[in-house]
Amino acid sequence: MKKISYLVAAALVCAAVAPICACTPDEGRNITTYDIAVQYDGQNTLTGSVKCSVYNDTENALDCLKFNLWGNAFREGAFNSPVPSAMQAQAYYGGASYGGMSITAVEGGQWQVCGEDENILEVALEGTLYPDERAEVTINYELTLANVNGRTGVAESAVNLGNFYPILCAYGQSGWLEYTYCPTGDPFVSAVANYTVSLTVPEDFTAAASGQLDGSSSSGGTTTFNYRLNSARDFAIVLSREFEVISREESGTNIYYYYTDDGEAESKLTIAAQSLKYFEEAFGEYPYPTLSVVQTGFYQGGMEYPGLTMISDDCDGQTALYTIVHENAHQWWYAAVGNDNYAHSWQDEGLAEYSALMFFENTPEYGLTKAGLLGSATKAYRAYFSVYSQLFEGVDTGMERTLSGFSGDYEYANIAYNKALLMFDAIRGACGDGHFLAALKSYYSEYKFAIAPPEGLMACFCRYADCEGIFDSFLNGKVII
């Protein structure tokens, strides 16, 4: 996710997860599958059913399955607000509004809603699920959407359906990762799966989705869209009665730009195509058949999902272009190569930020230079350090902390984005340009469709240079910037 207020504006002014084997996105391999059918009523309610065929690719026998209920974070009385306090007014455009996710029935085992913040659906299986076996669970649910310019909710110009269904928790070295929703950062960690999604909406809505459209049909004032997407960590949808759409093909990928009010739509589509082409050449093949960039109501700059990026309709000019590039970089560093971004947020955000720098360094017509971006990040980080040094004795600048360990967005942005950007530039200096790119290609190839531990990323660079000290000094807060 891109934090405009602390990052882009400045640039324009001047718990370990066990890795999973990387694989190709074919339907035949052993992988968890989701068959989702949802219906949106055109107002604030989504009714759905998720049939999940869970493939046990762990080394452990499982007696239960655990699913994240991210939509429950929007209910009244939730443990954590889903929106940072400083952005409440911008996000809740009509005043306080609440939603929630209610489970109405589960087939496949005994179930309960539990977790620290009613964020987990636990299903006790009818029998033990051994490694390399499957268990099927069907979950019926209702999602009430808050009126909010956020990942999940009815925004002012569109309906954002990020994290709109129960999703299987990632399985780590210590078991299921039961993360709660945080107002800071992106707490979403999941293994890749194959998706088929059936979406029924009032017929006057246009849908942008993560997956490839397999067909649609209309009946009784509604339209049903059918999608599929393989080897994806998540699936997202954005709906609007006002969408216009333009498209083009780049490197065999169909790229779409959905917008409601944008006099610079062609430039947005162009930079989306340019960045996809650049990242393919730099890191490796884009993993999905389509890419949708969607202008929508969002209180921050943007948000990434596999095959789909949300871009705030408050963004314009170079800020919007930068945000598109950063979010598109997440198709490589989050969507394809996953990581535990709750515990190691620098890993994907830092790489996405540095990837954006590399794109603009090699695409000079946009006027954003490597020196300018590094200078802005350094200036912003030093300002943060100065402020926190005055407010707190012994300011912690360590990067290895959970999202709940950040005091707020200001600290998070400077640690996970600015400091991480500077760290990867120091790594590049140690490796040299050619070896730096070779390391990123290796990282992408080795961990594509996996959840990569930080040690895996570090090892790719350490093949070419003695980088351990650089990582240690940055991650543990020893470096002086």
Query: What pLDDT shows up at residue 440?
Result: 98
Q: At what angle do helices 433-447 and 454-462 cross, to 10 degrees?
A: 140
Residue-level pLDDT, tens digit, the chain, 481 residues: 654 433 333 333 333 344 434 444 444 469 999 999 999 999 999 999 999 999 999 999 999 999 999 999 999 999 989 999 999 999 999 999 999 999 999 999 999 999 999 999 999 999 999 999 999 999 999 999 999 999 999 999 999 999 999 999 999 999 999 999 999 999 999 999 999 999 999 999 999 999 999 999 999 999 999 999 999 999 999 999 999 999 999 999 999 999 999 999 999 999 999 999 999 999 999 999 999 999 999 999 999 999 999 999 999 999 999 999 999 999 999 999 999 999 999 999 999 999 999 999 999 999 999 999 999 999 999 999 999 988 887 789 999 999 999 999 999 999 999 999 999 999 999 999 999 999 999 999 999 999 999 999 999 999 999 999 999 999 999 999 9
**Pick from 232, 231, 328: nearest CA to 278:** 328
| 130 & 165 share domain | yes
Token readout for 481 is 């910037």
DSSP character string of 349-409: HHHHHHHHHHHHHT-GGG---HHHHHHHHHHHHHHHHHHHHHHSTT----S---GGGSSSH
Phi, psi of 104 (to 5 degrees): -100, -25
- Structural domain of residue 68, as residue ranges? 4-350
How many other β-carbons are positioned within 10 Å of the β-carbon of residue 33? Answer: 17
| 118 & 134 share domain | yes
Decide if 278 contacts 324 (C-beta within 8 A).
Answer: no
**Residue that is last in its domain, among 282, 316, 350:** 350
| 146 & 208 share domain | yes
| 297 & 412 share domain | no
**Residue that is last in its domain, among 309, 331, 350:** 350
| 55 & 186 share domain | yes
| 232 & 300 share domain | yes
Tell me how many domains the chain contains.
2
DSSP three-state, residue 88 = helix
| 398 & 340 share domain | no
DSSP three-state, residue 211 = coil
| 437 & 342 share domain | no
CA–CA dist 20, 1 (Å, integer):
24
DSSP three-state, residue 209 = strand
Decide if 12 contacts 213 (C-beta within 8 A).
Answer: no
| 163 & 199 share domain | yes
**Would 454 be classed as within a structural domain?**
yes
**Would 480 be classed as within a structural domain?**
no
Query: What pLDDT shows up at residue 17?
Result: 41
